[in-house]
Amino acid sequence: MKNTVLIAISQANTNPWVNIWKEGQAKTWINNNLDGTAVINVQSKMPPGIIKKVDVFHEKNRYRTRVGLWQGRFDKILAKFISNKIPKYEFNKENHILNVDSWSTYQLQGRRFIALYDWFLNNTNFSFLFTTTTSSYINKQNLLNLVQNFSSQDLIYAGCLLPEKEIKQFVSGAGTLLSRRSVEVLRQNWEKFKFDTLEDVAHGYLMSEIGATPVPLTRVDLPDIGAVKSLPASTLSLEFHYRCKSSAVPREDVQIMRQLHLRLQNL
């Protein structure tokens, strides 16, 4: 039987992410319907204003030597009070959005994912789940071709591996491929998920604990339109994941996606 894949876009319900989704993703690759694939958005609730400000401060200072050290210690304490129970969720069939009853903060992103995993297992029959972000452009056909190389019953945990050239690596949260079996095992072991670090790092710890070795997959990073124009046709025809995360202020993710879409259409 041919493998199938569900693409789930994890998204904060605020700008610039909503605009990138509506003006970039929804007007380019999402609308390229292909049998064996489907796309949904996964959103959680915006936190109260004061919590949002704390969240922004938290991420801004995470990597500062002194502040980050004390912040990390506080995270470990706070994480003990975060529930590993699956939050409530509701799927909007008309808009293809999974709404999760949890705050949308960096430290609580794991709750958004466990809700997705539970919904995926209870409401779909897809062989694979590919989670990504609003800055990504996915070539559905190439992704569908890729998953044919794996078994949905194996522990598949694959994507762009970080940190580069390190012995212990995790899959970047910008694009993670999971087999149905991996999603099942994640849900079964979710009480071990850690909330005191970034979501993709925490996934890496948990997948390592359950015996899944991360599999490297290629990804093309496109920080500006010039990078799109310089891509060789051979890359465009083979790759499946393009990260269109702009380095400009204001961000140009939408323009990068549209330029990439034009190039792919003209292959």
Tell me the H-state helices in 12-166. Answer: 17-19, 49-61, 65-79, 109-123, 140-147
**β-strand partners of 242:** 137, 220
Residues 17-35 pLDDT 10s? 999 999 999 999 998 899 9
Residue 223 lies in a domain: no
Q: Please check whether residue 147 is in contact with residue 153, taking contact to mean a CB–CB distance below 8 angstroms.
A: no
pLDDT value of residue 112: 97
Residue 68 lies in a domain: yes
Total domain count for the chain?
Answer: 1
CATH code where residue 124 lies: 3.90.550.10
Residue 250 lies in a domain: no
Longest CA span, the chain? 54
* Domain housing 163: 5-218
pLDDT value of residue 165: 82
Residue 177 lies in a domain: yes
Residues 83-104 pLDDT 10s? 999 999 999 999 999 999 999 9
Q: Which of 159, 202, 151 is nearest to 177 (CA)?
A: 159
| Stated length of the chain | 267
pLDDT value of residue 47: 85
Residue 227 lies in a domain: no
Exposed/middle/buried for residue 128 (C-beta within 10 Å: 0-12, 13-18, 19+):
buried
- Helix (H), strand (E) at residue 44: strand 37-45
HSE-up (13 A, CA, CB side) for residue 193: 25
Residue 247 lies in a domain: no
> Rounded CA gap, 134 and 253, in Å?
9
Helices 180-188 and 109-123 meet at what angle, rounded to 10? Answer: 120
Which are the contacts of 115, defined by CB distance < 8 A and separation ≥ 6? 42, 86, 87, 88, 89, 98, 100, 102
pTM for the whole structure: 0.95
Residue 76 lies in a domain: yes
Q: Please check whether residue 242 is in contact with residue 136, taking contact to mean a CB–CB distance below 8 angstroms.
A: yes
Residue 45 lies in a domain: yes
Cα angle 135, 141, 145; round to 5 = 115
**Going residue by residue through the chain (267 aa), what tens digit of pLDDT does each one get?**
799 999 999 998 888 999 999 999 999 999 889 999 999 999 999 888 888 887 777 777 777 777 777 777 878 888 888 999 999 999 999 999 999 999 998 889 999 999 999 999 999 999 999 999 999 999 999 999 999 999 999 999 999 999 988 889 999 999 999 999 999 999 999 999 999 988 999 999 999 999 999 999 999 999 999 999 999 999 999 999 999 999 888 899 999 999 999 999 988
